A and B are shown apart, each in its own frame.
Chain A
Amino acid sequence: MDVKVNILRYNPETDRKGHWEEYILEADPDERILDLLHKVKWFDDGSLAFRRSCAHGVCGSDAMLVNGENMLACQVLVKEVSTPIKIEPIRGLPVIKDLVVNMDSFFDSYKKVMPFLVNDDEPGERERLQSPEDRDRFEDTTKCILCAACTTSCPVFWTADTYVGPAAIVNAHRFVFDSRDNASKQRLEILKGVDGAFRCRTAFNCTTACPRGIQVTKAIEDVKRETLTIN
């Protein structure tokens, strides 16, 4: 079948601002949106820029706005979206070219929350023990692939880009609720601050956007509640 696709194009070397380009593509309903982008790039306009790698929703490269909603282009099939299909870069981060945005501030926010296990106790020669129940407490947030779909769908983040954003809080959650970690207090201090978890207005956009099905808003609520336990 023929599918009409509109892509917001922007090339900093030739354009002053973004503009829509229309493509009519021969496509199978079972193909991924990513396959459509490849068709444009490989057989029509080689200059179309987008990130991708794994092509099955596990590397987090290709979050973009499809018909107004954040998703991974490789995780959504043509038959699941209405046509014409409108594709734009994720919002709130500077566009480098076409669908590629500058991720620096996103990763800077991630690094702010100490996204690593802190435990200076002598671990011994074998693994530390952890019960399946303790392991379960942070299972959901271990799934994050840092795709930025959540953060760039957040209305608070659009207006206040100093807000660390949902993704950073998700990654803090992963350690705050890990029974092996000893730095919860420091992490929660950071998240108590002006740019931390209390900026969240529970819009739920992040939870809807997350391609890994993480309960992002719930994780933020968990973290907010946990900050009340420190002083």
Chain B
Amino acid sequence: MKVIRHSFDGVIVGAGGAGLRAAIEAAPHMKLAVITKLYPTRSHTGAAQGGMSAALANVEEDNWNWHAFDTVKGSDYLADQPAVDILCKEAIDSVVELEHWGLPFSRLENGKIAQRRFGGHTVKEGEAPAFRACYAADRTGHMILQTLYQKCVSMGVTFFDEFQVLDIKIDDGVCKGVIAYEVATGDIHIFEARAVTFATGGFGKIYKVSSNAHSLTGDGPGILYQKGIPLEDMEFYQFHPTGIYRLGILLSEAARGEGGILRNKDGERFMERYAPSIKDLAPRDMVSRAIATEISQGNGAGPNNDFVYLDLTHLGAETIKQKLPDITDFVRTYVKIEPIDEPIPVQPTAHYAMGGIPTDVDARVLSDANGTVLPGVYSAGESACVSVHGANRLGTNSLLDIVVFGKRAGQSMVDYVSSTKPMTLSDNAAEDLSNKIDKLMNKDHSLEYSVPRIREELQNSMEENAKIFRTEDSLEKQTEILADLRDRYQNVTISDKGKVFNTELLEAIELEYLLDMSDTTVASALHRKESRGAHSRVDHVERDDVNWLKHSFAFKNGDSVKLDYKDVELGNYEPKERKY
């Protein structure tokens, strides 16, 4: 195996919104490389549809405190309130900055950025739905990704496209660089870098029905977890209410923001029963639970009673064409129905990881529940847990998170690099990785231990046992299944033994991250004996602020998971019952 060396001050792993925003901040001040397993414009930020919230008050009175209130309430009081304040306050400048860099937001008649309604966002602490989400039709994420990449191109940022990072080097608690695999050649690259940011996105591929890309396998969290860094709040995984039936392709909440209505098999607008004041625009955890409840009570539509309808037929062709062109095209392409005339079959789809790599508000990675900083390592975007989303993220707050905390990660890299000296990595730094690859290359292939088999069983069982509603029994059963899959993974085999574009090899390595993400999700969920946000325990239905107003930290402990906890940082808003 050929090993090639590079020396940088800083490396950013991932070129989605978070990684690119960090790069724009850091690149002028250091020798920087962005390493990405996909071409930057293929990142899943480009799939984001509905919008990005900021209290611009372009349509009606608004202020960032109301945005913060909604975010905290939406999080079921698990978000750290000082971090939420930063998110909502810096939102305004972040949107304006993106506009200055060219982002083609949709506009109001007066030329200002247009804003629309979105789930859980209200004015005056719950009075009525707020027009807060800035958008570019229903392709806001595409525009953010394009704009940030364009800015990077104009700055001449150095990219290593289709290079997959597979290892980080931390010696004596200090970061020294990363090891990457060049997809086109199979060469191994050692990147010396004393500041490393992980912005690798989410891990929705632990579930079968998901809105996430094939590439979202939790690489950043997985790499760090295997080095002993904990993962925070993994039991909180968001299911978006409206995925296209069976396919999981997302139909943005913007559809309901523009007036779309959910209906059961009888055509009833069932959200009126679950959230009388804001109905279809209740936060995602509540709407997904409502759908799951309707389905379990036999009110689902179709021959198996296993979906509900998203009804857009009353919105009119013009609104649909102007404001929801992409998602209605998805329906035409994949379901072959016309959303102007017919309601769309939908079901909840695995969507967003509230949990991930623990960081402080400066994107510095924490190595324990006491807030100990791991020098030189940063994370931002969906791979990180600050925590601004707590137990349930509000729609539009992730696109915000990636730019606000992406920028902060870049700034922290600059501070660290300017106050430290270059690190050196020895030539054998790539040895662990080479051994891992050799092992996969040298083993004879057997179908029983193939990646797709193990992965399929993983996704099916997570879907079955650790989805919206959980019980002690379902989680214990899943713990056993995961232990068995982990055993089989020890013998995983691949058939492609080549060097060029060997994506089977990479899928095998990614599968280990998926197992890590599943283990930590299930262990954290099993221990949390309450229901909060996206984590619903049928056997512990109440929220328990006395015992559980705290973040979970899941550590790798051999092949099992060890848990620790950290208190939530409160602020202006005392936990209250969450009603909408």
Instruction: Return chain A residues, CB-CB under 8 Å to B150.
Output: 115-117
Which among B38, B42, B452, B498 has the greatest number of chain A C-beta atoms within 10 A? B42
Contacts A57-B333, A116-B102, A127-B113 hold; do A145 and B46 have CB atoms under 8 A apart?
yes
Distance A55 CA – B249 CA, assembled complex (angstroms): 9
Distance A175 CA – B102 CA, assembled complex (angstroms): 9
CB atoms of B47 and A142 under 8 A apart: no
CB atoms of B498 and A47 under 8 A apart: yes
Instruction: Return chain B residues, CB-CB under 8 Å to A132.
Output: 106-109
CB atoms of A131 and B107 under 8 A apart: yes
Distance A129 CA – B109 CA, assembled complex (angstroms): 10
Distance A32 CA – B113 CA, assembled complex (angstroms): 37
Distance A181 CA – B330 CA, assembled complex (angstroms): 32
Instruction: Return chain B residues, CB-CB under 8 Å to A14.
Output: 498
Contacts A13-B499, A49-B503, A115-B150 hold; do A56 and B100 have CB atoms under 8 A apart?
no
The count of residues in chain B whose C-beta lies closer than 8 Å to any C-beta of chain A is 59
CB atoms of A117 and B101 under 8 A apart: yes
Instruction: Return chain A residues, CB-CB under 8 Å to B111.
Output: 129-131
Instruction: Return chain B residues, CB-CB under 8 Å to A47.
Output: 495-496, 498, 502, 504
CB interface residues, A 72-126, toward B, < 8 Å: 75, 77, 96-98, 100, 102-103, 107, 111, 114-119, 123, 125-126
CB atoms of B153 and A111 under 8 A apart: yes
Is B44 an interface residue when CB atoms closer than 8 A count as contact? yes
Distance A222 CA – B422 CA, assembled complex (angstroms): 51
Instruction: Return chain A residues, CB-CB under 8 Å to B108.
Output: 132
Is A53 an interface residue when CB atoms closer than 8 A count as contact? yes
CB interface residues, B 106-136, toward A, < 8 Å: 106-113, 136
Is A52 an interface residue when CB atoms closer than 8 A count as contact? yes
Contacts A46-B494, A53-B44 hold; do A142 and B146 have CB atoms under 8 A apart?
yes
CB atoms of A127 and B500 under 8 A apart: no
CB atoms of A59 and B151 under 8 A apart: no
Of the candidates B330, B451, B495, which one forms a contact with A56 in the assembled complex, judged by CB atoms under 8 Å apart? B330
CB atoms of B102 and A143 under 8 A apart: no
CB atoms of A56 and B249 under 8 A apart: yes
Instruction: Return chain A residues, CB-CB under 8 Å to B227.
Output: none
Of the candidates B42, B247, B330, which one forms a contact with A53 in the assembled complex, judged by CB atoms under 8 Å apart? B42
Which of A37-45, A184-192, A202-210 lies on the face that meets chain B? Answer: A37-45
CB atoms of B102 and A53 under 8 A apart: no
Instruction: Return chain B residues, CB-CB under 8 Å to A143.
Output: 139, 142
The smallest beta-carbon distance between B388 and chain A, in angstroms, is 24
Residue of A nearest to B494 (CB): A46
The smallest beta-carbon distance between A181 and chain B, in angstroms, is 8
Is A164 an interface residue when CB atoms closer than 8 A count as contact? no
Is A201 an interface residue when CB atoms closer than 8 A count as contact? no
Contact indicator per residue, chain A 25-42, by CB within 8 Å of chain B (1) or not (0): 000001010000000011
Is B449 an interface residue when CB atoms closer than 8 A count as contact? no
Is A67 an interface residue when CB atoms closer than 8 A count as contact? no
Instruction: Return chain B residues, CB-CB under 8 Å to A49.
Output: 500-503
CB atoms of A59 and B500 under 8 A apart: no
Is B104 an interface residue when CB atoms closer than 8 A count as contact? yes
Distance A14 CA – B498 CA, assembled complex (angstroms): 9
Is B96 an interface residue when CB atoms closer than 8 A count as contact? yes
CB atoms of A53 and B213 under 8 A apart: yes
Contacts A53-B44, A127-B96, A127-B99 hold; do A41 and B504 have CB atoms under 8 A apart?
yes
7 nearest A-B residue pairs (beta carbon): A117-B102, A129-B111, A42-B452, A47-B496, A116-B150, A116-B154, A46-B504
The chain A residues found within 8 Å of chain B, CB to CB, are 11-14, 30, 32, 41-43, 45-47, 49, 51-61, 75, 77, 96-98, 100, 102-103, 107, 111, 114-119, 123, 125-132, 135, 138-139, 142-143, 145-146, 175, 178, 180-181, 213
- 4 further contact pairs, Cβ within 8 A, besides A49-B503, A61-B39, A116-B101: A54-B214, A57-B333, A129-B111, A131-B107
